[in-house]
Amino acid sequence: MLDIQKQKVFITDVTGRDGFQMEKDWIPTEQKIAIINGLIRTGVKRVEVTSFVSPKAVPQLKDAKEVLAGIEKGDAQIAVLVPNKKGAELAVETEIDEINAVISVSETHNRKNVRKTVDESIQEISSINSIAKEHGKKMNVGLATTFGCPFEGLYPVEKVEELIGRLTEFEINSFALSDTTGMANPQQVFNFVEYLKSAFPEETFSLHLHNTRGMGLSNMLAGVQAGIEAFDAALGGIGGCPFAPGATGNVCLEDAVHMFEQIGITTGIDPDLLIGEAKNLESVLGYTLPGQVIKSGQSTKTYQA
């Protein structure tokens, strides 16, 4: 029997940023807005909508300001990713609630991802944090390659602990432990989360998982068992990191919601509406999405004999 005490989890949708950034064919701005508005209508209460990143680095997100202006947020929290101080300055000019920044545990991946050393990224996060706090925005930090790096391999949890320790002085709202290339396994996720929550009892942690090797949902459950209450996921399971080999696919949002609801953990998101939005996204992108529930429907669905 699963040893799960949680009755509710909080899922952030990252379709608009981590999902769309991997799409090579341009998605019209109005279609991005429609997809995000549809997600909010399903009950999603936090959305990472886009990123204020260089259009040369990620052309798909060059319409960040226009997308943010078009969404109907309701009571959802709106977050954006920023890679640097300039991105933060652009972000606070819009109607957002939270700023997300990313730093890699891996020195090699950090250089490839943002062209900075880890030390330089810590200084950049300090500047971003100052801007966020000045404008009354929450500040979150994603720890890329928390569970291993495709360039440096696996490393002990103490390496992650050391980086978090350096960042705690900035009074970050939350840290996202990120499995950037889907290298994590359930036992590792449980052990890392248990260790880090014990080492930093005052900090708030979430999990950002990828399904590269098919263990995304299993890793989510391991996270719940270790005390995690907040997760990231993307509609249809799209996305990944353009600067990490083999980093295909976030955990599928509708699959995650279906799993949690089926085992009695409330998400506040309507599974049927979510499946409908996944089908809309599939039509927009023009290819079959990797998610499973979109294909089969909920497990409670019955058919005429």
Catalytic positions are 241
CA distances from 285 to 47, 136, 246, 261 (A): 20, 36, 20, 27
In the block, tokens 């996944």 appear at 278
- Taking the CA atoms of residue 138, residue 203, residue 20 and residue 278 in that order, the dihedral angle to the nearest 10 degrees is -110
| Cα 295 from Cα 277, distance rounded (Å) | 13
CA nearest to 200, candidates 250, 157, 238, 137: 157
- The partner residues of 98 in beta bridges, in order of sequence, read 79, 138
Residue 25 tokens, joined:
């064919």
Burial class from Cβ neighbours inside 10 Å (0-12, 13-18, 19+) for residue 270 reads: middle
Other C-beta atoms lying within 10 Å of the C-beta of residue 81? 27
Secondary structure class of 199 (helix, strand, coil)? helix
CA neighbours closer than 13 Å in the CB half-sphere of residue 246: 12
Side chain identity, residue 70: G
Instruction: Work out whether strand 10-13 and strand 230-233 pair parallel, antiparallel, or are unpaired.
Output: parallel
| Cα 142 from Cα 101, distance rounded (Å) | 6
Other C-beta atoms lying within 10 Å of the C-beta of residue 24? 6
